[in-house]
Amino acid sequence: MSELNLILFGPPGAGKGTQAERLQAELRVPLVSTGEMLRSAVKEGTELGLQAQRYMDGGELVPDKLIVAMVSARVEQDDARDGFVLDGFPRTIGQAKALERQLGGLSRRVTAAILVNVSDEEVVRRISGRRVCVKSEHNYHVDFDPPKQEGVCDQDGSRLVQRDDDKPEVVRKRLAVYHELTEPLIAHYDKQGLMRWIDGTHRPAEVHDHIRAVIATLRLEEAV
């Protein structure tokens, strides 16, 4: 396959970050996270980074047009010639269309959009079950990785708490934003024949195997 340009998205808590890191290591292509990309551009003092910093310093959201331009500049770099993995971007139809225009100007396109999907109930269970110790921020989960003694860190004996962002009511608000703004991407990419669905309820290794199977199919389709 000439290049493999993937978009990985899904609801919060679906595990897409873990899968993106695995794909980066296996495919040896850059993982493009807009948050990390913004921080790097600002730190390096690039022209786009300086523009973004002016918005951030003013407490404003960085405009879609600027973020898409930064993504485009990033995927033009040498290490992205064989492809890239976009983690959590685009998040809206507007961002998706802007990205397509920008990539089109580079004679490139999205190879596939991969949805790591889990139910709202599972998202709430995964995120609201997190616990962190107040002393050193060691992480636990009430179902998947509980401490030996409830409410107490195994490593330093400090109290375990639930972060405000992990409370069920906050998680449900994040899910509502996802359903309103990001979920429409499913139909958008499906119309283009780019949409691929992955069941995110399995163990991370199994989810990764399913994504690998999708990529293998993409390569076979191109070879035919």
**CA-based angle 54:55:56, to the nearest 5?**
95
Q: Residue 114 pairs with which residues in a beta bridge?
A: 8, 196
Place of tokens 């993409």: 218
Helix extents (H) in 143-203: 168-177, 185-191
Catalytic residue numbers? Answer: 16, 91, 130, 163, 174
SS3 content of the chain, % helix, strand, coil (to 5): 50, 15, 30
Q: Are 106 and 83 in contact (CB under 8 A)?
A: no
Give 84-117 as a DSSP string. EEEES---SHHHHHHHHHHHHHTT----EEEEEE
Task: Quote the CA–CA distance of 123 and 190 in Å, as a whole number.
Answer: 24
